[in-house]
C-alpha cells in the first residue's frame, strides 16, 4: 500500500491496493482481521494507480493513473465504473502518480514525475469537477520549482496551499535535492516553493515520502522513507 486517507466526516479509512486493482474502505475503528465495509474492484472500475484522495463533502474518490485521473462515488461497492475521467493530450497528464482534492474551493491538484530525458516533474491544477480532455488551470514546472518526483500531496483550503513531498529520484537512497515544498493554487510556471522544509542535519530529513497536515496544532507531519520514521514540524507561519 502506498497511500491511505482518513475521511473524518464519515470516520472511514480508504486504501488503494495496486496489486488487486481495488479501493478498500474500512471503518475508522477497525481492528484486527476485519473486512472492508466496501470494495471497488472489477473490469468496469479499472482502478489502476496506487494513490488516492477522498472528498467527503461531494462523496467522491479520486485516483491518479498515469495518463488519467479517475473519479468514483465514495459509497460505491463492487464493479462500479468511474463517474468522471480526466484524460487527453490537453490535460498534460502523462505520468500522474499523486493528487489531493480541495472540496471547499473545488480544486484538484495532481503531481507527475520526471521521465526519460525530461528533467522536470510538475504540479497540475484542475477544477474539481473537470472531466475529459481539459486544460489545467495552472502548471508549476521547471528548474526553479525543484520538482522532480512527487510522492504524496496535501492541500490546505483556508489559504489555498499545495503541500508536496519531493523524495528525489527513485533509485537514490539519499537524494541530494529532496525536500517538502509548499505552493499556492495561483502559482503558475517555473515558481519556487513559498515555503520549503529541506533535507539536512537541521531537519534530519533524508527522503520525505508522505505528508499530512495538522492545522489545529499548526504542524506538518512527514514520513521519511530512508529514516523509516515519522517527523513532526511546527510551522505556524503557513496556517
* pTM summary value: 0.94
Q: What is residue 2's predicted lDDT score, i.e. its pLDDT?
A: 80
Q: What is residue 117's predicted lDDT score, i.e. its pLDDT?
A: 60
The CA-atom distances, in angstroms, between 40 and each of 23, 36, 149 are 5, 10, 28
Q: Which are the contacts of 163, defined by CB distance < 8 A and separation ≥ 6?
A: 153, 154, 155, 156, 180, 181, 182, 211, 213, 220
Q: Which are the contacts of 200, defined by CB distance < 8 A and separation ≥ 6?
A: none
Q: What is residue 119's predicted lDDT score, i.e. its pLDDT?
A: 65
Q: What is residue 162's predicted lDDT score, i.e. its pLDDT?
A: 98
The CA-atom distances, in angstroms, between 161 and each of 21, 157, 186, 207 are 30, 7, 9, 22
Q: What is residue 118's predicted lDDT score, i.e. its pLDDT?
A: 63
Alpha-carbon distance of 185 to 86, in angstroms, equals: 19
Q: What is residue 116's predicted lDDT score, i.e. its pLDDT?
A: 56
Q: What is residue 115's predicted lDDT score, i.e. its pLDDT?
A: 61
Q: Which three cell numbers stand for residue 93?
A: 497528464
Do β-strands 68-73 and 84-87 pair in parallel, antiparallel, or remain unpaired?
Answer: antiparallel
Q: Which three cell numbers stand for residue 107?
A: 480544486
Q: What is residue 46's predicted lDDT score, i.e. its pLDDT?
A: 93
pLDDT tens-place string over residues 160-186 = 999 999 998 877 888 898 999 999 999
pLDDT tens-place string over residues 78-96 = 999 999 999 999 999 988 8
| Per-residue pLDDT in tens (0 to 9) along the chain, 239 residues | 788 999 999 999 999 998 899 999 999 999 999 999 999 999 999 998 889 999 999 999 999 998 999 999 999 999 999 999 999 999 999 888 899 999 999 999 999 876 656 667 899 999 999 999 999 999 999 999 999 889 899 999 999 999 999 998 877 888 898 999 999 999 999 999 999 999 999 999 999 999 999 999 999 999 999 999 999 999 999 99
Please name each of the domains of the chain with its CATH number: 4-199 (2.120.10.30)
Q: What is residue 135's predicted lDDT score, i.e. its pLDDT?
A: 97
Amino acid at each position: 500500500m502506498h497511500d491511505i486517507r482518513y475521511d473524518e466526516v464519515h470516520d472511514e479509512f480508504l486504501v488503494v491496493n495496486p496489486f488487486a486493482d481495488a479501493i478498500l474502505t474500512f471503518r475508522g475503528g477497525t481492528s484486527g482481521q476485519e473486512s472492508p465495509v466496501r470494495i471497488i474492484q472489477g473490469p468496469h472500475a479499472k482502478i489502476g494507480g496506487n494513490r488516492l484522495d477522498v472528498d467527503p463533502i461531494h462523496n467522491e474518490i479520486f485516483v491518479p493513473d498515469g495518463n488519467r485521473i479517475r473519479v468514483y462515488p465514495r459509497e460505491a461497492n463492487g464493479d462500479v465504473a468511474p463517474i468522471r475521467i480526466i484524460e487527453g493530450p490537453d490535460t498534460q497528464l502523462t505520468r500522474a502518480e499523486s493528487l489531493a482534492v480541495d472540496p471547499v474551493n473545488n480544486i484538484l491538484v495532481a503531481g507527475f514525475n520526471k521521465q526519460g530525458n525530461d528533467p522536470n516533474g510538475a504540479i497540475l491544477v484542475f477544477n474539481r469537477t473537470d472531466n475529459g480532455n481539459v486544460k489545467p488551470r495552472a502548471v508549476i514546472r521547471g528548474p526553479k520549482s525543484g520538482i522532480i518526483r512527487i510522492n504524496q500531496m496535501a492541500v490546505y483550503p483556508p489559504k489555498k496551499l499545495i503541500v508536496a513531498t519531493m523524495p528525489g529520484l527513485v533509485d537514490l537512497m539519499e537524494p541530494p535535492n529532496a525536500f517538502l515544498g509548499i505552493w499556492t493554487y495561483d502559482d503558475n510556471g517555473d515558481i519556487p516553493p513559498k515555503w520549503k522544509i529541506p533535507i539536512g542535519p537541521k531537519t534530519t530529513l533524508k527522503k520525505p515520502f508522505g505528508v499530512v497536515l495538522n492545522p489545529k496544532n499548526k504542524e506538518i507531519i512527514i514520513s521519511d522513507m530512508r529514516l523509516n520514521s515519522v517527523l513532526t514540524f511546527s510551522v505556524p507561519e503557513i496556517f
